[in-house]
Amino acid sequence: MSHEFLQVLWFILIAILWVGFYFLEGFDFGVGMLLPFLGKKDMERRAIINAIGATWDGNEVWLLTAGGATFAAFPQWYATMFSGFYLALFLLLVALIIRGIAFEYRSKDANPKWRTTFDWMIAVGSFLAALLLGVAFANLAEGVPINAKMMFTGNLFTLLNPYGLIGGLTTVSVFLLHGANFLGLKLEGELRERVNEFAKKLYFAAIALSLILLVTTYIFTDIYAHLGLNPGIIPVAGLAALFVSGYFINRRHEGWAFIMVAVNIVFTLITFFMILFPRVMISSTDPSYSLTIYNASASAYTLSVMSIVASIFVPIVLIYQGWTYYMFRKRIATKKKSLVY
Amino acid sequence: MDPLILSRWQFALTTVYHFLFVPLTLGLGWFVAFMQTRYYQTRDETFHKMAKFWGKLFLINFAIGVVTGIVQEFQFGMNWSEYSRFVGDIFGAPLAIEALLAFFMESTFLGIWIFGEGKVPERVHLAAIWLVAIGSNLSALWILLANGWMQHPVGYVIDPTTGHPMLNDFFALATNPKGWLFFAHTLVAGLAMASFLILGVSAYHIARKRSLEVFKRSFQMAAIVGLVAAVLVIIDGDSQGKYVYETQPMKMASIEALWNTEQPASFSVLTIGDLSGKKEVWALTVPDITSLLACNNFSCAVQGVYAIQAQYQQKYGPGDYIPLMVFVYWGFRLMVGVGFLMALLAILFLFAMRKDITKAKWMKWVPWVIVLPYVATTSGWIVTEMGRQPWIVQGLLKVQDAVSPNLTTVDLLISLIGYLLVYGALIVADFYLMKKYAILGPDAAMQESVDAAPAVIGAQD
């Protein structure tokens, strides 16, 4: 296999890891943000957490694998992005830490203050993580100041520009809707009714922000030069799926509503990687300073080794993770006896 | 303040902190898996209670190891971007493999283990805890192979244009003796730590005559495993010493504060005064023992710091190649001293069990032994990591050339203070819960449903 083929292959593989992460952890973040607003009683909150309890940690590993794979396949990308987005990633880490620990610790003490504190840590951590990921990805599409030595020359406020913030808020709103749809599939009784009402409202926020993102993407990124006015079927289908989800949400076809928003997330992410390709970090200082899959990658030998490892273990992981969802497919009742922690 | 110094402090603090939780996860997982297997085979309710009780403590500890582990993976790129660029062709591979092989396995099956009881078939539930234990230890293997490569780079050639090492033999990386010696040491150290936690907590209850059947059996199991693990830690540590002598002679000389080459080299047990080699006040030494530690005989020459410093200056250019000796020298003595003390205590506990340990007056002091493995593992890593300074990759890249050049002092102060606050709060919560559930005993752990701890906000249902 030629080096160039491997570089393209690994770009696609990393894209798949991020798509998987956004799809899976997207609803976890949504569920986390909804937790204190949707669950009024302790038992309800426990039921909401249990909807993702067995699987959120496995979903988060998609992020770690994306990070590790980026290091292995495109070390220059990993080095520039992680050092460049330093404070944003620090905040992301804090968000993931407080959220992760709160899932495990919130029910281990009966003090209501203890529980409320951890519930809000879940909500704030999920919100902050979703927002920061959106900001980071929007900036990647828009381009950030990078000099000839592949070094990021901005700071945290460089990232907090209008398009970055629109990316962040859109991600938050779509994840909220995704989470609400997921809970619609997992909960029952009064909570299920309540979350369906939430979904109807969240739908409009997601639509509005996604349209703003669409327009601003043509203003702030080079999508027009890169992909043309008609960007192809994938972005269009992605947005269309979000619109269609409204129909299913109103009709209470929870499964289809979930699938449509999932399609929106997956296709939007694919569009993002289409805007990037073959670049991995666009330099706003000078396009020729951009990192690409060609100047940022590991050697052909390392990519070959990693390809062999990935081709064996990715299918295994997909099988047992998929099987976990099958195992825990039942709806969760808000009853004491059935709720473990 | 210099961003380099702050980045070093941050890496040291977050890594030492992470490793306070990791060994217990590594060791206790095997115990819980074994206990649950015995319950599955025998239907003996005591084993069931043991698995549930120690499983609870396992989970509380596990959570912090997981969340602080994310920081570990990110901070190579965040704080050490030049390192990441330099070793990118090599170091990323074991990290990615760790995530793919180990992180997915441990987190997915831990979810099944926590939430699957009574929902999945019992055999699946049992398999889940074994896969968690295997997964977490696999994770240790791959990160230690990555660390082993930094201490003893293998399987690479230097790219003539960039000067960066390029992987040319993945098999060499995966079989690096350095990494495997680390792994063996860590695996048994984890078992030793878990054993001493079990010994300590069990003793607390035995001294109070509570849940005796659970805690006597736990105590016995942990005393046996603890002894075996402590002995294996010592044997593997000795093998490591010989490999350090071959691959990192400066670390070996610093461990001994051996300034001048000696043949045969004596072992310094204690030194009063300073370690500069110039005004030693009093040192207790045993002849020939350092030669034994380094090369398995009583007569070989062990190179001193001055000789190696001169060699390195010739080979790598001018500079200071001597680690901070006070940490390396005393860290080693602390680790070894505590390690032997643990082996000795395990023997004493085994002897004591020939009589009725519930009558032993000293039982109430035994909980303090929990501290020992934490001291040993922490000081051990300090020796390993400070002993290779100034190198981040032995012989190839220095720490000072590895730091991210774009970071400012303000960036680092924000993150360092932020980590201190968050990690500080975490350890308080962790300690509170560990203590609470350790003292509550097995009956509380058997109650898995939420109504074991009714919350006031949900009191009406």
- Looking at residue B391, what is its pLDDT? 96
Rounded to the nearest angstrom, the gap between the alpha carbon of residue A201 and the centroid of all alpha carbons in its chain is: 21
Chain B residue with the nearest C-alpha to that of A335: B461
B98 and A68 Cβ atoms separated by less than 8 Å: yes
- What confidence score (pLDDT) does residue A98 get? 97
Q: Report yes or no: A84 at the B interface, CB cutoff 8 Å.
A: yes
- Identify the CA nearest to B103 among candidates A297, A17, A129, A131: A17
Residues of A in Cβ contact (< 8 Å) with B413: none
C-alpha–C-alpha distance, residues B49 and B141, integer Å = 31
What are the two backbone dihedrals, phi and then psi, of residue A78, each rounded to the nearest 5 degrees?
A: -55, -45
Task: Establish if A307 touches chain B: CB-CB under 8 angstroms.
Answer: no
Q: Which residues in chain B are contacts of A54 at CB distance < 8 A? A: 111-112, 114-116
For A21-80, what is each residue's pLDDT tens digit? 999 999 999 999 999 999 999 999 999 999 999 999 999 999 999 999 999 999 999 999
Q: Tell me whether residue A164 is exposed, middle or buried, using C-beta atoms within 10 angstroms of its C-beta: 0 to 12, 13 to 18, 19 or more.
A: buried
Give the side-chain half-sphere CA count within 13 A for B71: 31
The alpha carbon torsion through B384, B386, B390, B394 (nearest 10 deg) reads 10
Minimum mean pLDDT range among A177-186, A303-312, A324-333, B123-132: A324-333
Beta strands B391-393; B397-398: pairing state: antiparallel
What per-residue confidence (pLDDT) applies to B280? 60
Residue of A nearest to B71 (CA): A93
pLDDT digit string, tens, across residues A122-160: 999 999 999 999 999 999 999 999 999 999 999 999 999
Q: For B167, which of A73, A82, A301 is closest by C-beta distance?
A: A301
Range A238-247 average pLDDT: 96
pLDDT score for B450: 44
Between CA A28 and CA A56 the distance in angstroms is 6
Q: Which residues of B touch A47 (CB under 8 A)?
A: none
Chain A residues whose beta carbon lies within 8 Å of the beta carbon of residue B76? 71, 82
Q: Give the torsion through C-alpha atoms of A73, B392, B388, B246, to 10 deg.
A: 50
Angle value at C-alpha B254, between B251 and B255, nearest 5 degrees: 85
**Residue A217 and residue A256 in contact, taking contact as beta carbons nearer than 8 Å:** no
In chain B, what residues touch A301 (CB-CB under 8 Å)?
166-168, 170
Considering only CB atoms, which chain B residues are within 8 Å of A100? 63, 66-67, 70
Question: Rounded CA gap, A80 and B80, in Å?
Answer: 10
Contact A242, A36 (CB under 8 A): no
Burial group, residue A47, by CB count within 10 angstroms (0-12, 13-18, 19+): buried
DSSP B160-193: TTT--EEE--HHHHHT-HHHHHHHHHHHHHHHHH
C-alpha distances (whole Å) from A257 to each of A32, A178, A248, B257, B398 are: 19, 9, 5, 69, 54
Q: Does B103 touch chain A (CB under 8 A)?
A: yes
Q: How far, CA to CA in Å, does B155 sit from each of A254, A297, B89, B148, B177?
A: 53, 19, 11, 12, 12
Task: Closest CB to B92: pick one of A60, A68, A109.
Answer: A68
- Hey, is A1 helix, strand or coil? coil
Tokens (6 digits) for A117: 């504190």
Residue of A35, A108, A132 to mutate for B, most B C-beta atoms under 10 A: A108
pLDDT, mean of each 10-residue run, chain B (461 residues): 93 97 97 98 96 96 95 96 96 95 95 90 96 97 97 96 94 96 96 98 95 95 97 93 90 88 82 67 78 81 90 94 92 95 96 88 94 97 94 96 95 97 97 95 73 38 36
SS3 B286: strand
Assess contact for B79 and B11: CB atoms under 8 A: yes
pTM: 0.94
Query: B297 Cβ partners below 8 Å, 6+ apart?
Result: B291
Q: Is A226 helix (H, G, I), strand (E, B) or coil?
A: helix
Q: Supply the mean pLDDT for chain A.
A: 94
Tell me what pLDDT residue B278 has. Answer: 61
Mean pLDDT across the stretch A7-20? 96
Does the beta carbon of B25 lie under 8 angstroms from any beta carbon of chain A? Answer: no
- Pull the structure tokens for residue A185: 């599939």
Give contacts of B 295-324 with A, CB under 8 A. none
Contacts of B365 (CB under 8 A, 6+ apart): none
Chain A interface test: which of B14, B57, B97 (most A C-beta within 10 Å)? B97
Cβ–Cβ contact A286 with B under 8 A: no
Peptide bond into B390 cis (omega under 30): yes
What is the distance between the alpha carbons of residues B38 and B32, in angstroms, rounded to a whole number? Answer: 10
Q: Name the region of B404 (left: φ>0; alpha: ψ -120 to 50; beta: rest).
A: beta
Burial zone of B276 (CB within 10 Å; 0-12 exposed, 13-18 middle, 19+ buried):
exposed
**Contacting residues for A312 by C-beta, under 8 A, at least 6 apart:** none
Spatial distance between the Cα atoms of A121 and A98, rounded to a whole number of angstroms? 6
C-alpha pair distances (Å), B204 with each of A108, A245, B29, B360:
21, 58, 21, 12
CA–CA distance, B283 with B303 (Å, rounded to integer): 19
